[in-house]
Structure 1
């Protein structure tokens, strides 16, 4: 019996989990969730009831996307995503933490300003875009001289961060393209054109309770 992955195609957290599962060759039963109508099985498995959630055959539940990434890659890491050519795993996790913290905070308020009108931290959209842009400028600087964030090969950091940079870029593509971030723009374009992203972004029907999910995995 394979692990069960509750996922939603466009969610960046679920995207990073699927990327690691695919790269590691782990096969799971994918249950595509409709977020406005969450299945009771997801709610029963995880109190947070947000994707991704990975239910392992022995009953253990992984509720955080980075935990799912590490679970998969620690079982099999043929692309060496946990072993960057420059830097360490702890340094990668620290950079991902910055994206999941400050960057995501400003990204949400830039992308969905109407959701945060009563937030005491609310500022105008341009201010949140500028604050997030300071982080993307740092990423651009990291990419100077090599194609990926931690050297000449892709790593966990690239795959965990790219879905959120993608969201940021897609809010206003013309504005993003006009910024002085050529390395970051090239890095994002290469990732968006990659075979692995095409594989994990395949569309699946919404899962219905009581039915089998879709087999998902690269069968490495």
Structure 2
């Protein structure tokens, strides 16, 4: 979604994690996605590549090249620091708690409710933010909204009924706004797998 909003054209190679291409593992041995490979486009025989294989770093790469919607909130000097702090909290604490919550639901663990409660402080913090303005940082979307969207979407699905009946009215409206957007549909479109077609897909020029 950040690549689309930044208007950065990339060659997309969709894969499934059960069948990782050798080309991907050679460039990024950790074997996770996404992987962005930057090469010297003026030199077809270039052997030097820059590899960015963290989602947040790819988002920052795209938005620092072009940020027409000011997702980095550049007009607020301290905004990016705050955005990155919340994302770090998500990555270091909420994400592991969410994985345990998902596993407890999937494997019918006895500590399901305890796992859900571990997730609550972070979710409630986002709810409180959204009582003040439409998006997490203000009245317009920011990098923070798009960085956290996948995790809140996952949280909403673990116990759907409890989520819908829970004290998340602002978060529900925020999530629905994103999920019903044309941008989300464009980003989530399922392209043919690269290993099947051996054809790159030009992605990100516009949405």
Q: Same fold (TM over 0.5)?
A: yes
Do the aligned residues in 2 keep the contact of 1:84 with 1:155 (CA within 8 Å)? no
Determine the C-alpha separation between the residues in 2 that align with 1:24 and 1:124. Answer: 42
| Partner deviation per Cα, 1:165-213 (whole Å, 9 max, x = no partner) | 0001011211111111111111111111111111101111111178222
Determine the C-alpha separation between the residues in 1 that align with 2:110 and 2:19. Answer: 31
RMSD between aligned alpha carbons?
2.2
Whichever of the two has the greater Rg, that structure is 2
**Quick check: 1:83 aligned with 2:73?**
yes
Determine the C-alpha separation between the residues in 1 that align with 2:97 and 2:195. Answer: 35
Counterpart position of 1:23? 5
Counterpart position of 1:183? 170
- Residue of structure 2 aligned with 1:54, choices 21, 33, 36: 36
User: Using a 3 Å threshold, how does the CA distance of structure 1 residues 85 and 170 change in structure 2: closer, same or farther?
Assistant: farther
SS in 1 for 2:135: coil
| Partner deviation per Cα, 1:53-109 (whole Å, 9 max, x = no partner) | 100113100011111000000000011101167651010000011111111011101
Do the aligned residues in 2 keep the contact of 1:96 with 1:161 (CA within 8 Å)? yes
**Quick check: 1:146 aligned with 2:128?**
no
- Output the TM-score relative to the length of structure 2: 0.89
- Show structure 1 runs of 5+ residues with no match: 1-18
User: Using a 3 Å threshold, how does the CA distance of structure 1 residues 217 and 91 change in structure 2: closer, same or farther?
Assistant: same
Counterpart position of 1:136? 123
- Output the TM-score relative to the length of structure 1: 0.84
Counterpart position of 2:190? 203
The answer to which structure has the higher helix fraction is: 2
Determine the C-alpha separation between the residues in 1 that align with 2:22 and 2:34. Answer: 15
Counterpart position of 2:90? 99
**Quick check: 1:213 aligned with 2:200?**
yes
SS in 2 for 1:143: helix
Do the aligned residues in 1 keep the contact of 2:105 with 2:158 (CA within 8 Å)? no
